[in-house]
């Protein structure tokens, strides 16, 4: 149950003084969702987007011209419009000992003006001060106050995002009312952290956000914003820590091998493992040997060698007599994994099988049987592996490859299958550290920071598509020297059909030049044709593979050393990096040609520049984040994504890291959040509506 102390915050906005049904309706549009209207808490976290400086100038001559000016003056004269000129404005002169200002009112309510600005009265005047024909004037002052009310004029007036039907003054008033309605809450922050950070209590901080002390306070960083941002980050990290604990709790079997199969595989490899691979495997094996469920993210740039890490982990499970699955995002990739891993698995005496939606009939039945009776050690496939009707004798480990599009939510689903399997997610798209903490805060992380030795840098060039013929010539020379070439055609308006047509057309024109050295691969080909096209390229029978972005993820043909990307300006940075990662995987020098059609917009230009400058996936990810923003970096805005109100995880990286550590420690020490601080943290979870966490706590 939500602590009743929070009730005023979760009440409808109509509970605030001066919010009637009409205003409430307008606010619902701005802050409500399908299930509920605007609540006080929504206003509380509706922070100012700017501020107006209303600090008074000592005299009229000191008041800034052209900006908002505030000063006190005496009313000296009323100048009604001349008779017959009804549309001319009503003017009122005010002055102090240094100068005068004409206040100008159009369509004036004269009676009201006579009442509020009687001659001889002193007033505080605030509004935009201008020069008009050499005279100071102010059209429709924003504020006219009796000096006795001076305190009612804030030095800095917050400016809020508005919605139709709620003007700036109303919004400011009701936001202040929401801040007023906020109760004082027990402290949920770690006392030592609080003392170090100099943060004020929550109530004081959130109120300060609505009553900024100076302009810097609304425009930039303030300690009050950081405090509330930290609160939000802590809520989300506590939620992730609870999810993580829940997933671990549902496991409970240690999987420990004796190293014999791993040893056999290692000695069959044509290379030795990198330090990074060794370390990642040490992390993974340590996790698997614990009687808790593993939840680990293996983060490694394209070409860093994640596949062999997966194989070794699966071998460890097999040593313990248990099964594993490796799930790939596409058919092609699943097939390729199976083909590449099968010989190594065989050398170690492991039985590996492929299962995708395309395995049908007796073949499929045999695989299902082998999985059920435990004959098959390793299953490689697509999401078909997790469909109903697929049962395992003893599944120990599930590895999900190249799934950066997997959110927290999907992982919850994977875990809720009820199987106490260890989970390893391998992501190829490097995710900036700050984001990996928000998105994968429930997981442990291993990073393959370096690529295997002996790789040569990829030379990347941006070339105008007007030079198409030169590019074809260069491709021809590369092919003559024995290279293999990917030729990537872009998405055309996100349409599969047009997409395919473009690839087909390029295939036809290249075929005129290079004959049957050219192959074609696209998403609408029947599965068997796709396999055949890929196999012909892998075998070197075709030397140029024209494709749509189906090769984006994971495919590994080390001999391919040239890539041409058409309309590179249409691709996002992460996608370009993924594509380019298909080359530079062997020992030969590689070249990537980014063909663009000008003129380029600034963002497209920036992307191509970054691609030319660096191959560092982490840097590219950071730049991508800068150019695009958080949601897009991880693919579509996904369910389970934290919805930030105050915090900006990409900026508040230091706070995020601290919140993560704090959350983990807290949950470790007080798993049910029953201590005094734990109870306060519960109300924090309610305050920021981390529903997953609340459900888990209720479930106990």
Q: Which residues bind ligand ADP (CB under 6 A)?
A: 271, 273-274, 277, 300, 302-308, 428, 452, 554, 556, 558, 585
d(CA 11, CA 694): 19
CA dihedral 269, 272, 273, 275 (to 10 degrees): 180
Q: Which of 308, 336, 326, 352 is nearest to 534 (CA)?
A: 336
Residue spans of alpha helices (H) in 215-305: 215-219, 223-249, 260-268, 275-289
d(CA 296, CA 411): 11
What DSSP character marks residue 479? H
Beta bridge partners of 562: 485, 591
Core vs surface per residue 640-665: b (16+ CB within 10 A) or e: ebbebbbbbbbebbebbebbbebbbe
To ligand ADP, the closest distance from the beta carbon of 308 in angstroms equals 5
Binding segment for Mg ion among 146-154, 158-166, 359-367, 553-561 (CB under 5 A)? 553-561
To ligand ADP, the closest distance from the beta carbon of 561 in angstroms equals 13
Binding segment for Mg ion among 269-277, 448-456, 516-524, 550-558 (CB under 5 A)? 550-558
Q: Which of 556, 513, 549 is nearest to 534 (CA)?
A: 556
51 binds, among Mg ion, ligand ADP, none (CB under 5 to 8 A by kind): none
345 binds, among ligand ADP, Mg ion, none (CB under 5 to 8 A by kind): none
DSSP state letters, 20-71: -HHHHHHHHHHH--SS---BHHHHHT---SEEEE-PPPSSTTTSPTTSEEEE
Question: Integer distance in angstroms from the first to the last C-alpha of the chain?
Answer: 13
Return the residue nearest ligand ADP (CB atom).
305
d(CA 26, CA 325): 52
Q: Which of 379, 374, 372 is nearest to 397 (CA)?
A: 379
274 binds, among Mg ion, ligand ADP, none (CB under 5 to 8 A by kind): ligand ADP
558 binds, among Mg ion, ligand ADP, none (CB under 5 to 8 A by kind): ligand ADP
To ligand ADP, the closest distance from the beta carbon of 447 in angstroms equals 12
Nearest to ligand ADP of 239, 341 (CB atom): 341
Beta bridge partners of 123: 73
Nearest to ligand ADP of 247, 307 (CB atom): 307
Nearest to ligand ADP of 293, 306 (CB atom): 306
d(CA 403, CA 263): 28
To Mg ion, the closest distance from the beta carbon of 282 in angstroms equals 20
CA distances from 406 to 321, 356, 411, 607, 697 (A): 29, 19, 7, 25, 24
Nearest to ligand ADP of 167, 343 (CB atom): 343
Total of chain residues touching Mg ion, rule CB under 5 A: 1
523 binds, among Mg ion, ligand ADP, none (CB under 5 to 8 A by kind): none
Copy the structure tokens of residue 120. 């001889």
Nearest to ligand ADP of 307, 484 (CB atom): 307
Q: Is 198 left (phi over 0), alpha (psi -120 to 50) or beta?
A: left
To ligand ADP, the closest distance from the beta carbon of 426 in angstroms equals 7
Nearest to ligand ADP of 266, 472 (CB atom): 266
To ligand ADP, the closest distance from the beta carbon of 585 in angstroms equals 5
Nearest to Mg ion of 231, 556 (CB atom): 556
To Mg ion, the closest distance from the beta carbon of 429 in angstroms equals 11
Does residue 554 bind Mg ion (CB under 5 A)? yes
d(CA 424, CA 400): 6
To ligand ADP, the closest distance from the beta carbon of 655 in angstroms equals 31
To ligand ADP, the closest distance from the beta carbon of 543 in angstroms equals 19
Does residue 642 bind Mg ion (CB under 5 A)? no
Q: Is 425 left (phi over 0), alpha (psi -120 to 50) or beta?
A: beta
212 binds, among ligand ADP, Mg ion, none (CB under 5 to 8 A by kind): none
136 binds, among Mg ion, ligand ADP, none (CB under 5 to 8 A by kind): none
303 binds, among ligand ADP, Mg ion, none (CB under 5 to 8 A by kind): ligand ADP
CA distances from 185 to 5, 309, 671, 697 (A): 8, 48, 21, 20
Q: Which of residues 299-338 bind Mg ion (CB under 5 A)?
A: none
671 binds, among ligand ADP, Mg ion, none (CB under 5 to 8 A by kind): none
To ligand ADP, the closest distance from the beta carbon of 534 in angstroms equals 14
Copy the structure tokens of residue 184. 């004082």
Nearest to Mg ion of 554, 586 (CB atom): 554
Other CB atoms within 10 Å distance of the CB of residue 479: 17
Return the residue nearest Mg ion (CB atom).
554
207 binds, among ligand ADP, Mg ion, none (CB under 5 to 8 A by kind): none
Nearest to Mg ion of 554, 678 (CB atom): 554
To ligand ADP, the closest distance from the beta carbon of 254 in angstroms equals 27
Nearest to ligand ADP of 225, 577 (CB atom): 577
Binding site for Mg ion (CB under 5 A): 554
């Amino acid at each position: 149950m939500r602590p009743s102390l929070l009730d005023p915050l979760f009440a409808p906005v109509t509970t605030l003084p001066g919010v009637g049904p009409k205003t409430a309706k307008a606010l619902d549009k701005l802050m409500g969702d399908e299930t509920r209207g605007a609540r006080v808490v929504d206003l509380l976290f509706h922070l100012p987007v700017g501020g107006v400086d209303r600090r008074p100038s000592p005299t009229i001559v000191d008041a800034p011209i052209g900006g908002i000016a505030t000063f006190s003056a005496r009313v000296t004269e009323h100048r009604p419009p001349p008779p017959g000129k009804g549309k001319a404005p009503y003017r009122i002169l005010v002055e102090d000992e240094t100068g005068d200002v004409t206040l100008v009112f159009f369509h004036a309510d004269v009676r009201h003006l006579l009442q509020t600005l009687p001659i001889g009265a002193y007033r505080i005047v605030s509004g935009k001060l201008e020069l008009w024909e050499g005279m100071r004037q102010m059209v429709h002052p924003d504020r006219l106050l009796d000096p006795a009310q001076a305190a009612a004029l804030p030095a800095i007036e917050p400016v809020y995002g508005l919605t139709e039907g709620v003007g700036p003054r109303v919004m400011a008033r009701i936001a202040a009312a929401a801040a007023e309605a906020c109760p004082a809450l027990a402290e949920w922050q770690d006392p030592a952290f609080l003392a170090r950070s100099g943060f004020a209590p929550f109530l004081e901080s959130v109120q300060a956000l609505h009553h900024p002390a100076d302009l810097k306070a609304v425009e930039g960083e303030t300690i009050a914003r950081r405090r509330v941002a930290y609160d939000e980050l802590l809520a989300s990290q506590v939620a992730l820590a609870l999810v993580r604990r829940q997933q671990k709790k549902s496991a409970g079997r240690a999987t420990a091998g004796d190293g014999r199969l791993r040893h056999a595989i290692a000695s069959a490899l044509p290379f030795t493992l990198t330090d990074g691979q060794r370390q990642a495997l040490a992390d993974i094996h340590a996790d698997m040997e614990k009687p808790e469920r593993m939840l680990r993210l293996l983060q490694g740039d394209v070409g860093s060698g994640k596949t062999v890490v997966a194989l070794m982990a699966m071998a460890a499970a097999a040593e313990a007599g248990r099964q594993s699955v490796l799930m790939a995002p596409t058919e092609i990739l699943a097939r390729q994994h199976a083909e590449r891993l099968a010989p190594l698995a065989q050398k170690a005496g492991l039985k590996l099988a492929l299962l995708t939606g395309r395995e049908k009939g007796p073949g499929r039945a045999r695989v299902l049987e082998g999985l059920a009776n435990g004959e098959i050690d390793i299953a490689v496939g697509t999401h078909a592996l997790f469909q109903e009707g697929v049962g395992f004798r003893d599944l120990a480990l599930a590895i999900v490859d190249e799934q950066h599009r997997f959110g927290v939510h999907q992982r919850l689903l994977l875990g809720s299958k009820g199987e106490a399997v260890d989970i390893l997610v391998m992501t190829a798209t490097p995710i900036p550290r700050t984001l990996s903490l928000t998105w994968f805060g429930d997981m442990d992380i291993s990073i393959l920071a370096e690529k295997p030795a002996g790789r040569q840098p990829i030379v990347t060039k941006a070339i105008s598509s007007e030079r198409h013929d030169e590019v074809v010539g260069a491709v021809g020379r590369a092919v003559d020297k024995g290279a293999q070439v990917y030729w990537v055609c872009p998405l055309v308006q996100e349409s599969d059909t047009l997409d395919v047509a473009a690839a087909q057309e390029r295939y036809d024109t290249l075929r005129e030049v290079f004959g049957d050295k050219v192959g074609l691969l696209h998403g609408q080909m029947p599965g068997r044709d796709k396999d055949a096209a890929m196999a012909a390229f892998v075998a070197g029978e075709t030397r140029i593979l024209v494709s749509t972005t189906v090769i984006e993820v994971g495919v590994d043909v080390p001999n391919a050393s040239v890539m041409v990307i058409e309309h590179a300006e249409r691709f996002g940075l992460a996608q370009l990096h993924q594509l380019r990662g298909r080359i530079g995987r062997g020992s030969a020098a590689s070249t990537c040609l980014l063909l663009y059609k000008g003129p380029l917009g600034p963002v497209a230009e920036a992307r191509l520049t970054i691609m030319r400058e660096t191959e560092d996936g982490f840097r590219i990810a950071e730049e991508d984040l800068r150019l695009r923003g958080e949601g897009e970096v991880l693919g579509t805005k996904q369910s389970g994504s934290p919805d930030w109100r105050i915090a900006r995880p990409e900026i508040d990286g230091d706070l995020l890291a601290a919140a993560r550590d704090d959350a983990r420690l807290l949950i470790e020490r007080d798993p049910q959040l029953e201590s005094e601080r734990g109870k306060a943290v519960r109300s924090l979870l309610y305050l920021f509506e981390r529903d997953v966490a609340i459900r888990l706590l209720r479930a106990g």
